[in-house]
Amino acid sequence: MDAREQLLILRRNWRLITVLALLGTLVAGVASLLTPTSYTASTSLFVSTQNSETSAELQQGSVFALARVQSYVDVTSKPTVLQPVIDKLHLGMTPEALAAKIKVSTARNTVIIDIEARDGSAQRSADIANAVAASLVTAVADLERPTNGTPTPIRLSPVDYASSPTEPSNPNVKLDLALGLLYGLAAGIGAAVLRHVLDRNIRTESDLRKMTDLPLLAGITEQASGRLSGAAPFVLAGTGAEAFRKLRTNLQFAGVNRPMRSIVVTSASAGEGKSTVALNLALTVAKGGQKVILVDADLRLPSVAAATGIEGGIGLTTVLVGSSSLEDSIQYWSDDGLAVLASGPLPPNPSELLGSAAMSRLLEELQMTFDLIIVDAPPILPVTDASVLTRSTDSVLLVVGTKRVSQHSLAKAIDQLNFVDASILGVVQNRIPRRGPDANTAYVAGYGVPRPEAIPPARGGDGPGRPSHVRRGEVVSVEI
Ligand SMILES: Nc1ncnc2c1ncn2[C@@H]1O[C@H](COP(=O)(O)OP(=O)(O)OP(=O)(O)O)[C@@H](O)[C@H]1O
Ligand SMILES: [Mg+2]
């Protein structure tokens, strides 16, 4: 994972990270408020030996003190030291309970014993610390007293006395909030990385390039109309129209060395934008002056008739079963006279019909009249129709819906097309976000293309491609 990818993960998931960071801070804040206030007072004792007169005795004494100091630390939490403190301060608790309130330590290679006492009262915490120190001095004197009656060789002297603390040691609100924020951030980043690892959808052009070397013929940005749920394919304006002009040009290059009279437009899974691409490509080619026909061969979920408003009851299936002639079934749509063959009534056996000799004959017949046939097909993975169609057509255009197909599904679809020996012209990436971390600015505003904000909004209409006065199904004339 390189730095760019890491940054992309952060940008994609900034909301999740912010929410978890705030949540961590909030939880820490509440926990801090619920924590009972306590004060910590501390004192320290210095351990030395007495009666050392020569330097050799002094040296011996300091080694002796060092060797003893850890034992004194351990003794401090014993009843010998703590019971006198309880009695003196009338604490009314067991030595074990008092031991839990104190912390005794010594730094390595020093003869200083630090005693810390924690209590809900500031004054009492200081009293406990001082009383424990005094009790330890007495206890050590008793423990170390030689049996021959000579004075004890060890001396514990106070380095400082504990005084009543002015600030509580707990809760430390600032520290708690900072830790909560830190843990929240860490959890947010962890969740973002996990989400990234588990998300196998194609999101960016680089995701696409990582998994296939098929040429990327065009990138189509997300249009405002797409937010309408269940909306039919529609005519794209602005940068969308520019993308289709680019696609038209790139298809000419892609078709230099191979026949390209009929193109099946398909995708791995449903709803990636096949019909939108087929319709807009057909319209753009028609505007370029070529004779083009759009055939709705999606005999399971046809949408061309709904998108264009032509009669859907007559079309491909009626021609295939011989109940209407081809000439009578072709309808013309838009100012540029785009020829359209709707699906006709839905048959029970779409794959059979699309793979029939009648279908091959129909396509051959269309080739005699039209320069280009654009076939809107069903998706590849759920049904075999698209694969079947590749037998009677020249080439395939693969639409990839951004965030709508997994890398695995796309790979399987390409494998399927290769298996049936389809000639894949390339990929069209559809619904590229216009904003946000996954936006591809190259597609949002290209050279000579009005930027989105420069395109006058279609007030009250369904989006940029469908002006307000035009109802769905009417012939739409947009400036391409
Ligand atoms: N670039 C785009 N911007 C916004 N909306 C889009 C875009 N492309 C397609 N859509 C919308 O997405 C939906 C699905 O598009 P479309 O019908 O073209 O997909 P499809 O692949 O043909 O679906 P199906 O598998 O059902 O045939 C439609 O509502 C369409 O308007
Ligand atoms: Mg469709």
Pairwise CA distance, residues 222 & 241, whole Å = 12
pTM of the model: 0.70
pLDDT at 52: 65
Cβ–Cβ under 8 Å, residues 372 and 292: yes
pLDDT band at 478 (very low <50, low <70, confident <90, very high): very low
Instruction: Report the CATH architecture of 39-160.
Output: 2-Layer Sandwich (3.30)
Buried b (16+ CB within 10 A) or exposed e, 461-470: bbbbbbbeeb
Atom of ligand 1 nearest to the CA of 222: 3
- The terminus-to-terminus CA distance of the chain in angstroms comes to 41
Tell me the sheet residues that pair with 401.
430
Looking at the CA of 382, which ligand is closest? 1
Q: Out of 268-277, 296-305, 468-477, which region has the weakest mean confidence (pLDDT)?
A: 468-477
Atom of ligand 1 nearest to the CA of 276: 18
Which CATH fold would you assign to the domain 205-454? Rossmann fold (3.40.50)
The binding-site residues of ligand 1, defined as CB within 6 angstroms of any ligand atom, are 220, 222-223, 225-226, 231, 233-234, 267, 270-276, 298, 301, 303, 379, 430-431
For 279-330, the pLDDT digits (tens) are 999 999 999 999 999 999 999 999 999 999 999 999 999 999 999 999 999 9
pLDDT at 477: 32
Pairwise CA distance, residues 263 & 386, whole Å = 11
Is the pLDDT reported for residue 456 higher than 60?
no
Phi and psi (nearest 5°) for 374? -110, 120
Average of pLDDT values for 222-242? 73
Average of pLDDT values for 19-28? 97
How far is the centre of ligand 2, averaged over its atoms, from the C-alpha of 54 (Å)? 102
Is the pLDDT reported for residue 148 higher than 90?
no
pLDDT at 272: 96
Atom of ligand 1 nearest to the CA of 226: 5
**Burial level of 187, CB count in 10 A (0-12/13-18/19+)?**
middle
How far is the centre of ligand 2, averaged over its atoms, from the C-alpha of 102 (Å)? 75
pLDDT at 211: 87
Average of pLDDT values for 170-192? 95
Q: Is the dihedral of CA 81, 82, 84, 89 positive or negative?
A: positive
Is the pLDDT reported for residue 457 higher than 80?
no
* Domain limits, the chain: 3-35+172-198, 39-160, 205-454
Is the pLDDT reported for residue 227 higher than 80?
no
Pairwise CA distance, residues 75 & 66, whole Å = 15
Looking at the CA of 219, which ligand is closest? 1
Q: Out of 144-148, 263-267, 396-400, which region has the weakest mean confidence (pLDDT)?
A: 144-148
Q: Give the chain's mean pLDDT.
A: 87
Using the structure block, give the residue that is written with the tokens 């009250």: 460
How far is the centre of ligand 1, averaged over its atoms, from the C-alpha of 188 (Å)? 33
Pairwise CA distance, residues 239 & 260, whole Å = 26
pLDDT at 80: 95
For 183-211, the pLDDT digits (tens) are 999 999 999 999 988 888 999 898 899 88
How far is the centre of ligand 1, averaged over its atoms, from the C-alpha of 235 (Å)? 11
**Burial level of 173, CB count in 10 A (0-12/13-18/19+)?**
middle
- The reply to whether 39-160 and 205-454 are identical in fold is no
Is the pLDDT reported for residue 229 higher than 80?
no
Phi and psi (nearest 5°) for 267? -150, 170
